[in-house]
Amino acid sequence: MPKIPGLQRRRLTYYLRVRVPQELVSLYKKKEIVCSLETRDYETARKRVHKKRAIIEAEFDEKLHQIKAAASNSDILSGYSAHDLEGLTLRWMAERQKRAKAKQASKPSAPENRSEPDSEEDVILNLEQEATRYRRETLGTQDINRCNQLQKVG
């Protein structure tokens, strides 16, 4: 079987080792991250290692983007690639669908009572609220204020 990069067995448990990017070493205060896959079975470890690595690397990408966004005065989305923007959009749509299903499930069932689709203004308002919430998650309050000031000027 081919060797899986980063998969390591210590004592009886399997672990994943991932090197921290050079730009983030000062933030993480270490050169590599070692995390348990919480299994002693090789087959289970093989299945878990890829998912765990993807989660860690996504975190690295997000931290790198935050550093780049803080360093530049450009808008928040300019640092993302088209692929990243598509992923953000899909995540937003999935969250929106989940909320709509939860909202629909909490309503008492009515006989074929379909609600009207959201108006264009509602959709735009929701997008603006989601963008603001995302900015708060990725940037600090000072950076949000700076972005808002730049939008007013521009």
Residue 52 CB burial class (10 angstroms; 0-12, 13-18, ≥19): buried
Predicted pLDDT at 122: 76
Whether pLDDT at 150 is above 70: no
Structure tokens at 134: 């995302």
**C-alpha–C-alpha distance, residues 79 and 76, integer Å:** 7
Confidence of residue 2 (pLDDT cuts 50, 70, 90): low
Residues 6+ apart with CB under 8 A from 150: 73, 75
**Helix residue ranges, H only, the chain:** 25-28, 42-71, 82-106, 120-138, 141-153
Predicted pLDDT at 13: 92
Mean pLDDT rounded to a whole number for the chain: 77
Whether pLDDT at 154 is above 50: no
What amino acid occupies position 78?
A: S
Question: What are 73-105's pLDDT values in tens digits?
Answer: 556 666 677 787 877 888 888 888 888 888 878
Structure tokens at 143: 């950076």
- For helices 120-138 and 42-71, what crossing angle results, to 10°? 100
Task: Find which of 47-56, 98-107, 130-139 is predicted with most confidence, using mean pLDDT.
Answer: 47-56
Nearest residue to 66 (alpha-carbon basis) of 80, 85, 83 = 80
Whether pLDDT at 147 is above 70: no
Q: Picking from 12-26, 98-112, 113-127, which range would have the lowest pLDDT averaged per residue?
A: 113-127
